[in-house]
Amino acid sequence: MADVIKSKGWNWQIVSDDCTSVWKNPASETFYLVSRWKNQHKQSFLDMGCGLGRHSVLFAKNGFNVSAFDISENAIERTCDWMQEQGLNINAKVGDMLNIPFEDNSMDCVLCINVISHTDTNGVYKIADELKRVLKQNGECYLTLASKDTWGYKQNWPVVDENTKLRDEEGPEYMVPHFYADYDLISKIFKDFEILDIKHIGTFYTHNNQSYESYHWHLLIRKSNV
């Protein structure tokens, strides 16, 4: 395998369990996915890089058979505690998305929200192979990738490769690798999948009186004989 930067999980210890926080409330697009994948009678669901478990809880409450993993031990402990509090079952493990800790052809659907970008270019290619390995035939995956139009790509942060920087800012993502993509790169990385939908979504916010423009690619892909 080509060299890949060592993964570094989030420091979740400095993030509270405040139930109004973004990390405790599902991303809006996941409500669509619950509906879509239920209508397709999908059952096995993998929450890759699950964080505090906001999507694991949502999919388990909607009857999916939920598996999850994250490289952060603290994230897995807190996901398991939250699932238990809710009386929900989960198969959760500490693991690395570069070697997804689940079997070949075992998942009907996989969710990767703001996770895949936490590696470098070789890492993203490896993850695409891993997704193909764990998905069943006609299985679907929804994923987000940071875009080269986002503010972070323009920062003078340490460079890992032509698409990747280390986030040089205090907070839970300090020195975590960030890979940034454009459309052509995405087409190459996911060439073995059917791309069902692709969007480029902007988020605009202010923090400490500074304005930020953040852009992400959102992809819905299917493993099929394309």
Ligand X SMILES: C[S@@+](CC[C@H](N)C(=O)[O-])C[C@H]1O[C@@H](n2cnc3c(N)ncnc32)[C@H](O)[C@@H]1O
Binder of ligand X out of 4, 5, 9, 124 (CB under 6 A): 9
Give the burial class of 133: count Cβ atoms within 10 A of its Cβ; 0-12 exposed, 13-18 middle, 19 or more buried.
Answer: middle
Q: How far is the CB of 124 from ligand X (least distance, A)?
A: 11
| Nearer to ligand X (CB atom), residue 6 or residue 138 | 6
Q: Does 130 bind ligand X (CB under 6 A)?
A: no
| Nearer to ligand X (CB atom), residue 22 or residue 159 | 22
Count, residues near ligand X per rule CB under 6 A: 19
Q: How far is the CB of 211 from ligand X (least distance, A)?
A: 21
Long-range contacts of 159-166 (CB under 8 A, 24+ apart): 160/5, 160/120, 161/120, 161/121, 161/122, 162/121, 163/120, 163/121, 164/5, 164/119, 164/120, 164/121
Please, what is the Cα angle at 118 between 181 and 4, to 5 degrees? 90
Q: Does 139 bind ligand X (CB under 6 A)?
A: no
| Nearer to ligand X (CB atom), residue 9 or residue 139 | 9
Report the residue closest to ligand X, judged by CB.
51
Residue type, position 154, single letter: K
Give all strands (DSSP E) within the chain, no chain letters.
44-48, 65-70, 91-94, 107-112, 135-146, 159-161, 164-166, 177-179, 194-207, 210-222
| Nearer to ligand X (CB atom), residue 3 or residue 184 | 3
Applying the rule CB under 6 A, the residues between 36 and 95 that interact with ligand X are 49-51, 54, 70-72, 75
Applying the rule CB under 6 A, the residues between 94 and 123 that interact with ligand X are 96-98, 113-115, 118
Q: How far is the CB of 225 from ligand X (least distance, A)?
A: 28
Instruction: Give the C-alpha separation, 51 to 206, whole Å.
Output: 24
Instruction: Give the C-alpha separation, 154 to 165, whole Å.
Output: 10
- Give me the residues that bind ligand X (CB under 6 A), please: 7, 9-10, 23, 49-51, 54, 70-72, 75, 96-98, 113-115, 118
